[in-house]
Amino acid sequence: GQQVMQIPQYQHVQEGEDFTTYCNSSTTLSNIQWYKQRPGGHPVFLIQLVKSGEVKKQKRLTFQFGEAKKNSSLHITATQTTDVGTYFCANFVSGGGNKLTFGTGTQLKVEL
């Protein structure tokens, strides 16, 4: 089935630096969702991308879906300590129902 690889696995940044995490697939994705999980918390839905080349922004967060719908990225501008957590991309795999398959996640740490 479709497997989404997410990189990097870990990222340490200084507060104010930018951060980007990438999801890559060997096959075309129908859509992609992004979730954030704070330490000790549960995944929280951030956004869903459906269209080829789609770009969506949420304040300092920019989400992109590749033209070929095989990759996606999440970019955070000027990180803050509140951005700490693990960011997951996820996609629905059809066949026998819609199964949400999560990437391995990127753990972000922000240092003052």
Partner 1 sequence: DSGVTQTPKHLITATGQRVTLRCSPRSGDLSVYWYQQSLDQGLQFLIQYYNGEERAKGNILERFSAQQFPDLHSELNLSSLELGDSALYFCASSPGAGNQPQHFGDGTRLSIL
Closest separation in Å from C-beta 27 to partner 1: 16
| Site for partner 1, rule CB under 8 A | 30-31, 33, 41-45, 48, 88, 92, 96-102, 104-105
Q: Residue 82 or residue 97: which is nearer to partner 1 going by CB?
A: 97
CA distance 75 to 41: 21
Q: Residue 36 or residue 79: which is nearer to partner 1 going by CB?
A: 36
Closest separation in Å from C-beta 18 to partner 1: 25
Closest separation in Å from C-beta 106 to partner 1: 12
Burial of residue 109 (CB within 10 Å: 0-12, 13-18, 19+) is middle
